[in-house]
């Protein structure tokens, strides 16, 4: 299942230690995101989410740094009136950051590239289940999106651009990122099928109905 995430986040970072060749900084991060999910031949909609976590940055040169983050990130998808899924992940982005400008400048451009592996913490979903064309639309109802799913993880490739504002030992970074990758969620349940005139309205499971 392909997944694309657009993220706008803000980080407050303070220098924790300064070594001869590098600086190590610890910070906090929060932000908003929008996620869309696609499977072959289907688009499952998009949904707004949030993220919050901590970061550690090692500046190897005045313009290049390695950054690791640990954060909780809510993603998912939504088709209004038909399907909604919210998944919370523990995410581990690993980024290479490039800064344009001198280290003494109060404002610098930031470019970031890396990967973002994640493991699922929780899932909540509701849908109309199996919809029969000749009948009125089903009401939305909760779905079990946990019991029949295994190996729940997520992996993406990250590219971002932003700005860094330095005020003494503390600096603020605002970064817009695009993450594109794969949402992996294998299922141990038999594949769902729809009868004549029906269609599935759930990504990973569907309510029992005409088959």
Any alpha helices (H) in the chain, and if so which ranges? none
Prediction pTM value? 0.74
Direct distance between the N- and C-terminal alpha carbons of the chain, in angstroms, rounded to an integer: 24
Identify which of 176, 53, 180 has the alpha carbon closest to the alpha carbon of residue 116. Answer: 180
Q: Give the count of beta carbons closer than 10 Å to the beta carbon of residue 35.
A: 26
Encode 90-108 in three state secondary structure.
EECCEEEEEEECCCCCCEE
> How far apart, in Å, are the Cα atoms of 80 and each of 11, 90, 148, 201?
32, 27, 24, 11
Question: Please, what are the domains in the chain?
Answer: 2-199 (2.40.160)
Q: How far apart are alpha carbons 30 and 33 in whole angstroms?
A: 10
Sequence-distant (6+) residues with CB within 8 A of 3 are 35, 36, 37, 38, 75, 154, 156, 179, 180, 181, 182, 183
Any alpha helices (H) in 13-134, and if so which ranges? none
21-24 contacts: CB < 8 A, separation 24 or more? 21/60, 22/58, 22/59, 22/60, 23/58, 23/59, 24/56, 24/57, 24/58, 24/59
Mean pLDDT score, 95-118: 91
Tens of pLDDT, residues 62-104: 889 999 999 999 988 888 777 788 889 999 999 999 999 887 8
CB 3 within 8 A of CB 37: yes
Tens of pLDDT, residues 134-186: 666 677 777 777 766 666 888 889 999 999 888 777 778 888 988 887 766 55
Q: What is the pLDDT of residue 131?
A: 57
H helix or E strand, kind and range, residue 2: strand 2-18
């Amino acid at each position: 299942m392909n997944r694309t995430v657009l993220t706008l986040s803000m980080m407050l970072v303070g220098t924790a230690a300064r070594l001869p060749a590098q600086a190590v900084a610890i910070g906090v991060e929060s932000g908003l995101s929008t996620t869309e999910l696609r499977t072959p031949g289907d688009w499952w909609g998009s949904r707004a989410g949030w993220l919050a976590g901590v970061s550690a940055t090692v500046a190897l040169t005045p313009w290049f740094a390695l950054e690791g983050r640990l954060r909780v990130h809510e993603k998912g998808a939504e088709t209004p009136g038909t399907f909604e899924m919210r998944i919370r992940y523990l995410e581990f982005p690993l980024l290479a950051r490039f800064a344009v400008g001198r280290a003494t400048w109060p404002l610098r451009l930031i470019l970031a590239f890396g990967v973002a592996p994640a493991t699922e913490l929780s899932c909540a979903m509701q849908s109309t289940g199996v919809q029969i064309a000749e009948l009125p639309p089903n009401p939305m109802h909760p779905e079990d999106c946990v019991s029949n799913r295994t190996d729940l993880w997520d992996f993406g490739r990250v590219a971002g651009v932003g700005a860094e504002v330095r005020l003494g030992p503390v600096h603020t970074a605002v970064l817009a990122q695009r993450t594109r990758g794969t949402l992996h969620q294998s299922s141990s349940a038999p594949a769902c099928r729809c009868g004549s005139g029906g269609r599935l309205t759930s990504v990973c499971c569907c309510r029992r109905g005409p088959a």
